[in-house]
Amino acid sequence: MMTAFLGSLLLAYSSMLALCQGLERHYKQVWGRAPTRLQRRVLRGSGWLLLAASLWGCAQAWGWAMGPVGWFGMLSLSGFALALLLPYAPRLAVYAPVLGLPCWLLLYALAG
């Protein structure tokens, strides 16, 4: 349950990040230049995909009845965390999932 929960949280944050970076003002905020149209499309597309993946992950953790409820909570909280991180530590905000993924994989391996 915890692996599914944490995995969904990681996916939720990543989806919010991707969608956020797909917006010009926030891409500029992190990288200092405007994104190309391709970059924006890729970011937004992957954002929606990760969103769907996190919903599936929540359903794995809680079942399909409670899953969507937890999903909304996760999206809200990870979106808020992102909004708070961006002005203070933009690079950390972006690289957090990169750091989170190996930690989660380790947990997944240990949990069996």
Partner 1 sequence: MKQTLTQSMAWLHTWGGLLFGWLLFAIFLTGSLAVFDQEIDHWMQPEIKQTSVSSAQAVEHAVAYLQRQHADASAWNISLPSERMPALRVTAGDRRSGISTYLDPLTGEPLVVRDTAGGTFFFRFHYSLSMPRNPGIWIVGLAAMAMLVALISGIIIHKKFFKEFFTFRPNKGQRSWLDAHNASAVLLLPFHLMITYTGLLIFALIYMPAALDSLYNGNFAAFYQEHIDVPEEHHAVQTSQAPLTDLAPLLAQAEARMGPLSGVVIEHPGRSDAHIEMRRVLGNRIALTKGHNMVFDGVTGELLAGPPELRPTVLVQRVMFGLHFAQFGGYPMRWLYFVCGLLSSAMIATGLVLFTVKRRRKYASESALGQQLYRLVESLNVATVAGLAVACIGLLWLNRLLPVELAQRAGWELRGFFAIWLLSLLHAWLRPRLQAWREQLSLAALLCLGLPLLSVFSDGQAWGDSMRLWLEVTVVALGLLLVWSVWRLRQPQVQRSERRERSVQAQVN
Rounded least distance, CB 95 to partner 1, Å:
17
* 39, amino acid identity: Q
Instruction: Name, in order, each residue with C-beta under 8 angstroms of 94's C-beta and a sequence gap of 6 or more.
Output: 17, 21, 30
Q: Which of 24, 32, 33, 12 is nearest to 82 (CA)?
A: 12
Instruction: Say whether residue 82 binds partner 1 (CB under 8 A).
Output: yes
Instruction: Say whether residue 25 binds partner 1 (CB under 8 A).
Output: yes
Instruction: Say whether residue 64 binds partner 1 (CB under 8 A).
Output: no
- What is the number of alpha carbons within 13 Å of residue 27 lying toward its C-beta? 17
Of 53 and 71, CB closest to partner 1: 71
Identified binder of partner 1 from the candidate list 11, 50, 74, 94, rule CB under 8 A: 74
Q: Is the dihedral of CA 45, 107, 92, 8 positive or negative?
A: positive
Binding site residues, partner 1, CB under 8 A: 1-2, 5, 16, 20, 23, 25-26, 28-29, 61-62, 65-66, 69-70, 72-74, 76-77, 79-80, 82-84, 86-88
